[in-house]
Amino acid sequence: MPLGGYVIKYLGYHYLFAIAALIHLIPVILALRLIKVDENADEKTDGNTKEKVTEKNSTAKIIFHPLINLIIMLKEYKKLRTITVLEGALHFFPLAVINVYTLLFFHEETKYGLFLGYLGLIGIIASIAVSCYSDNKKERLRFLLIPFLCLSLTIFFLPLAKTQTIWIILVTIVSLLLTLTYPLRMAFSMDHKTLDYTFWRAREFFLNLGRFVTLALSSLLFYWKEYWLAFALFGLIVLIYPLVAKYKLRQLEKQIV
Protein backbone atom coordinates (compact mmCIF):
# COMPACT_ATOMS: atom_id res chain seq x y z
CA MET A 1 0.00 0.00 0.00
CA PRO A 2 2.74 2.57 0.74
CA LEU A 3 4.29 1.78 -2.66
CA GLY A 4 0.89 2.24 -4.25
CA GLY A 5 0.68 5.75 -2.84
CA TYR A 6 4.05 6.66 -4.38
CA VAL A 7 3.06 5.11 -7.71
CA ILE A 8 -0.11 7.23 -7.80
CA LYS A 9 1.77 10.40 -6.84
CA TYR A 10 4.62 10.12 -9.35
CA LEU A 11 3.20 7.95 -12.16
CA GLY A 12 -0.59 8.11 -11.95
CA TYR A 13 -3.54 5.80 -11.32
CA HIS A 14 -3.28 4.00 -14.67
CA TYR A 15 0.14 2.60 -13.73
CA LEU A 16 -1.21 1.43 -10.37
CA PHE A 17 -4.13 -0.38 -12.02
CA ALA A 18 -1.80 -1.97 -14.57
CA ILE A 19 0.53 -3.25 -11.84
CA ALA A 20 -2.44 -4.56 -9.82
CA ALA A 21 -3.79 -6.39 -12.88
CA LEU A 22 -0.43 -8.07 -13.48
CA ILE A 23 -0.16 -9.09 -9.82
CA HIS A 24 -3.61 -10.69 -9.96
CA LEU A 25 -2.42 -12.84 -12.85
CA ILE A 26 0.13 -14.56 -10.60
CA PRO A 27 -2.37 -16.82 -8.73
CA VAL A 28 -4.05 -17.68 -12.04
CA ILE A 29 -0.72 -18.79 -13.54
CA LEU A 30 0.19 -20.75 -10.41
CA ALA A 31 -3.22 -22.45 -10.40
CA LEU A 32 -2.86 -23.50 -14.03
CA ARG A 33 0.62 -24.89 -13.39
CA LEU A 34 0.10 -26.57 -10.01
CA ILE A 35 -3.52 -27.77 -9.95
CA LYS A 36 -4.25 -30.92 -11.91
CA VAL A 37 -7.82 -31.19 -13.14
CA ASP A 38 -9.49 -34.58 -13.43
CA GLU A 39 -11.40 -34.42 -16.71
CA ASN A 40 -13.73 -37.23 -15.57
CA ALA A 41 -14.55 -35.57 -12.23
CA ASP A 42 -17.75 -33.94 -13.49
CA GLU A 43 -18.99 -37.21 -14.97
CA LYS A 44 -18.31 -39.06 -11.71
CA THR A 45 -19.93 -36.36 -9.57
CA ASP A 46 -22.99 -35.88 -11.73
CA GLY A 47 -23.63 -39.57 -12.43
CA ASN A 48 -26.31 -39.97 -9.78
CA THR A 49 -28.10 -36.80 -10.87
CA LYS A 50 -28.13 -37.77 -14.53
CA GLU A 51 -29.68 -41.15 -13.77
CA LYS A 52 -32.71 -39.43 -12.23
CA VAL A 53 -33.52 -37.61 -15.48
CA THR A 54 -35.50 -39.63 -18.03
CA GLU A 55 -34.28 -40.11 -21.55
CA LYS A 56 -37.61 -38.79 -22.90
CA ASN A 57 -36.78 -35.35 -21.65
CA SER A 58 -33.21 -34.99 -22.90
CA THR A 59 -33.69 -31.28 -23.64
CA ALA A 60 -34.82 -30.61 -20.07
CA LYS A 61 -31.82 -32.58 -18.81
CA ILE A 62 -29.43 -30.21 -20.57
CA ILE A 63 -31.27 -27.03 -19.53
CA PHE A 64 -32.11 -27.78 -15.90
CA HIS A 65 -29.12 -29.87 -14.90
CA PRO A 66 -27.11 -26.88 -13.49
CA LEU A 67 -30.18 -25.71 -11.58
CA ILE A 68 -30.70 -29.18 -10.07
CA ASN A 69 -27.07 -29.25 -9.01
CA LEU A 70 -27.40 -25.81 -7.41
CA ILE A 71 -30.53 -26.79 -5.45
CA ILE A 72 -28.92 -30.01 -4.18
CA MET A 73 -25.76 -28.14 -3.23
CA LEU A 74 -27.63 -25.45 -1.28
CA LYS A 75 -29.80 -27.99 0.55
CA GLU A 76 -26.74 -29.90 1.73
CA TYR A 77 -25.37 -26.69 3.22
CA LYS A 78 -28.29 -26.30 5.62
CA LYS A 79 -27.78 -24.92 9.16
CA LEU A 80 -24.87 -22.78 7.92
CA ARG A 81 -26.48 -20.60 5.27
CA THR A 82 -27.39 -17.62 7.46
CA ILE A 83 -24.09 -17.51 9.32
CA THR A 84 -22.15 -17.72 6.04
CA VAL A 85 -24.16 -14.84 4.53
CA LEU A 86 -23.30 -12.74 7.59
CA GLU A 87 -19.66 -13.72 7.26
CA GLY A 88 -19.63 -12.63 3.63
CA ALA A 89 -21.42 -9.40 4.55
CA LEU A 90 -18.38 -8.29 6.55
CA HIS A 91 -15.96 -8.88 3.69
CA PHE A 92 -16.10 -5.43 2.08
CA PHE A 93 -16.28 -3.43 5.31
CA PRO A 94 -12.50 -3.04 5.70
CA LEU A 95 -11.78 -3.27 1.96
CA ALA A 96 -14.35 -0.75 0.72
CA VAL A 97 -16.24 1.13 3.43
CA ILE A 98 -13.31 1.98 5.71
CA ASN A 99 -10.88 2.60 2.85
CA VAL A 100 -13.25 4.96 1.04
CA TYR A 101 -14.27 6.84 4.18
CA THR A 102 -10.57 7.23 5.09
CA LEU A 103 -10.22 9.53 2.08
CA LEU A 104 -12.07 12.17 4.09
CA PHE A 105 -9.10 12.27 6.49
CA PHE A 106 -6.12 11.65 4.14
CA HIS A 107 -5.86 13.80 1.03
CA GLU A 108 -2.30 12.92 -0.02
CA GLU A 109 -1.62 9.68 -1.88
CA THR A 110 1.51 8.77 0.09
CA LYS A 111 -0.08 9.33 3.51
CA TYR A 112 -3.13 7.32 2.47
CA GLY A 113 -0.91 4.48 1.24
CA LEU A 114 1.17 4.52 4.43
CA PHE A 115 -2.00 4.34 6.53
CA LEU A 116 -3.30 1.31 4.63
CA GLY A 117 0.11 -0.33 4.88
CA TYR A 118 0.06 0.26 8.62
CA LEU A 119 -3.33 -1.47 8.88
CA GLY A 120 -2.07 -4.37 6.79
CA LEU A 121 0.93 -4.85 9.08
CA ILE A 122 -1.33 -4.90 12.14
CA GLY A 123 -3.55 -7.47 10.45
CA ILE A 124 -0.63 -9.79 9.67
CA ILE A 125 0.68 -9.75 13.23
CA ALA A 126 -2.77 -10.23 14.79
CA SER A 127 -3.78 -13.06 12.42
CA ILE A 128 -0.66 -15.11 13.17
CA ALA A 129 -1.16 -14.77 16.92
CA VAL A 130 -4.87 -15.59 17.05
CA SER A 131 -4.79 -18.50 14.60
CA CYS A 132 -2.22 -20.36 16.70
CA TYR A 133 -3.96 -19.69 19.99
CA SER A 134 -7.53 -20.44 18.91
CA ASP A 135 -6.59 -23.62 17.01
CA ASN A 136 -4.99 -24.98 20.16
CA LYS A 137 -7.96 -24.16 22.36
CA LYS A 138 -10.72 -25.38 20.00
CA GLU A 139 -13.21 -23.07 21.72
CA ARG A 140 -14.12 -20.79 18.86
CA LEU A 141 -17.51 -19.53 20.04
CA ARG A 142 -16.11 -18.24 23.31
CA PHE A 143 -13.54 -16.24 21.37
CA LEU A 144 -16.23 -14.65 19.20
CA LEU A 145 -18.49 -13.09 21.83
CA ILE A 146 -16.33 -10.42 23.50
CA PRO A 147 -14.35 -9.35 20.38
CA PHE A 148 -17.56 -9.00 18.35
CA LEU A 149 -19.22 -6.94 21.06
CA CYS A 150 -16.22 -4.60 21.19
CA LEU A 151 -16.05 -4.52 17.39
CA SER A 152 -19.72 -3.61 17.10
CA LEU A 153 -19.40 -0.72 19.56
CA THR A 154 -16.30 0.58 17.79
CA ILE A 155 -18.03 0.51 14.40
CA PHE A 156 -20.95 2.52 15.80
CA PHE A 157 -18.44 5.17 16.96
CA LEU A 158 -16.62 5.40 13.60
CA PRO A 159 -18.91 8.04 11.98
CA LEU A 160 -18.46 10.20 15.11
CA ALA A 161 -14.73 10.58 14.44
CA LYS A 162 -13.99 14.17 13.44
CA THR A 163 -10.19 14.24 13.58
CA GLN A 164 -7.50 12.21 11.88
CA THR A 165 -6.09 10.98 15.19
CA ILE A 166 -9.41 9.64 16.48
CA TRP A 167 -10.08 7.98 13.12
CA ILE A 168 -6.69 6.23 13.17
CA ILE A 169 -7.29 4.94 16.72
CA LEU A 170 -10.79 3.64 15.96
CA VAL A 171 -9.82 2.04 12.64
CA THR A 172 -6.81 0.39 14.29
CA ILE A 173 -9.14 -1.20 16.84
CA VAL A 174 -11.54 -2.32 14.10
CA SER A 175 -8.70 -3.75 12.01
CA LEU A 176 -7.31 -5.67 14.97
CA LEU A 177 -10.68 -7.12 15.96
CA LEU A 178 -11.66 -8.05 12.40
CA THR A 179 -8.35 -9.85 11.97
CA LEU A 180 -8.60 -11.55 15.35
CA THR A 181 -12.05 -12.93 14.54
CA TYR A 182 -11.43 -13.86 10.89
CA PRO A 183 -9.95 -17.36 11.40
CA LEU A 184 -12.65 -18.07 13.99
CA ARG A 185 -15.45 -17.03 11.63
CA MET A 186 -13.97 -19.01 8.76
CA ALA A 187 -13.47 -22.12 10.89
CA PHE A 188 -17.02 -22.11 12.28
CA SER A 189 -18.54 -23.63 9.14
CA MET A 190 -15.48 -25.77 8.43
CA ASP A 191 -15.74 -27.47 11.83
CA HIS A 192 -19.23 -28.82 11.11
CA LYS A 193 -19.19 -29.94 7.48
CA THR A 194 -17.19 -32.27 5.28
CA LEU A 195 -14.74 -30.14 3.32
CA ASP A 196 -15.54 -31.47 -0.13
CA TYR A 197 -16.17 -29.76 -3.46
CA THR A 198 -19.88 -29.27 -2.70
CA PHE A 199 -19.06 -27.56 0.60
CA TRP A 200 -16.76 -24.98 -0.99
CA ARG A 201 -19.18 -24.21 -3.81
CA ALA A 202 -22.08 -23.69 -1.41
CA ARG A 203 -19.95 -21.67 0.97
CA GLU A 204 -18.78 -19.32 -1.79
CA PHE A 205 -22.35 -18.90 -3.03
CA PHE A 206 -23.60 -17.65 0.35
CA LEU A 207 -20.44 -15.62 1.00
CA ASN A 208 -20.92 -13.82 -2.31
CA LEU A 209 -24.60 -13.28 -1.56
CA GLY A 210 -23.67 -11.48 1.66
CA ARG A 211 -20.94 -9.52 -0.10
CA PHE A 212 -23.22 -8.39 -2.90
CA VAL A 213 -26.07 -7.23 -0.66
CA THR A 214 -23.95 -5.23 1.78
CA LEU A 215 -21.72 -3.75 -0.92
CA ALA A 216 -24.78 -2.63 -2.89
CA LEU A 217 -26.42 -1.10 0.18
CA SER A 218 -23.17 0.58 1.26
CA SER A 219 -22.66 2.04 -2.21
CA LEU A 220 -26.14 3.55 -2.18
CA LEU A 221 -25.73 4.95 1.34
CA PHE A 222 -22.36 6.49 0.45
CA TYR A 223 -23.84 7.94 -2.74
CA TRP A 224 -26.56 9.59 -0.65
CA LYS A 225 -23.89 10.59 1.93
CA GLU A 226 -25.70 8.70 4.68
CA TYR A 227 -22.44 7.43 6.12
CA TRP A 228 -23.77 6.75 9.60
CA LEU A 229 -26.38 4.34 8.19
CA ALA A 230 -23.66 2.36 6.41
CA PHE A 231 -21.68 2.02 9.64
CA ALA A 232 -24.85 1.20 11.58
CA LEU A 233 -25.60 -1.60 9.09
CA PHE A 234 -22.23 -3.27 9.67
CA GLY A 235 -22.41 -2.61 13.40
CA LEU A 236 -25.70 -4.50 13.60
CA ILE A 237 -24.34 -7.38 11.51
CA VAL A 238 -21.36 -7.72 13.85
CA LEU A 239 -23.64 -7.51 16.89
CA ILE A 240 -25.95 -10.34 15.82
CA TYR A 241 -23.22 -12.58 14.39
CA PRO A 242 -22.23 -14.36 17.65
CA LEU A 243 -25.92 -14.75 18.58
CA VAL A 244 -26.66 -16.43 15.26
CA ALA A 245 -23.51 -18.54 15.62
CA LYS A 246 -24.60 -19.74 19.06
CA TYR A 247 -28.09 -20.61 17.77
CA LYS A 248 -26.71 -22.44 14.73
CA LEU A 249 -24.28 -24.36 16.91
CA ARG A 250 -27.14 -25.67 19.02
CA GLN A 251 -29.00 -26.78 15.89
CA LEU A 252 -25.93 -28.58 14.59
CA GLU A 253 -25.40 -30.34 17.92
CA LYS A 254 -29.03 -31.51 17.93
CA GLN A 255 -28.63 -32.77 14.38
CA ILE A 256 -25.60 -34.84 15.36
CA VAL A 257 -27.45 -36.33 18.37
CA 169 – CA 167 distance, rounded (Å)? 5
Per-residue model confidence (pLDDT) at position 214: 95
Fold category of 80-256 in CATH: Growth Hormone; Chain: A; (1.20.1250)
Percent of residues in the chain assigned helix, strand, coil, to nearest 5: 85, 0, 15
Share of the chain above pLDDT 90, in %: 30
CA angle (5, 10, 12) in 5-degree steps: 75
pLDDT surpassing 80 at residue 201: yes
Count of other CB atoms within 10 angstroms of residue 81: 18
Confidence of residue 85 (pLDDT cuts 50, 70, 90): very high
What mean pLDDT is reported for the chain? 78
Task: Give the pLDDT score at 55.
Answer: 41
The ranges assigned to domains in the chain are 1-36, 41-70, 80-256
More confident residue, 229 or 179: 229
| Cα angle value 142/148/153 (rounded, 5°) | 145
Percent of the chain whose pLDDT exceeds 70: 74
Encode pLDDT of 93-146 as tens digits: 988 899 899 989 988 878 888 888 888 888 788 777 766 665 544 455 666 788
Predicted confidence (pLDDT) per residue in 11-66, tens digit: 776 766 777 778 878 877 877 777 655 555 445 444 554 444 444 444 444 445 66
* The predicted structure's pLDDT at residue 40: 54
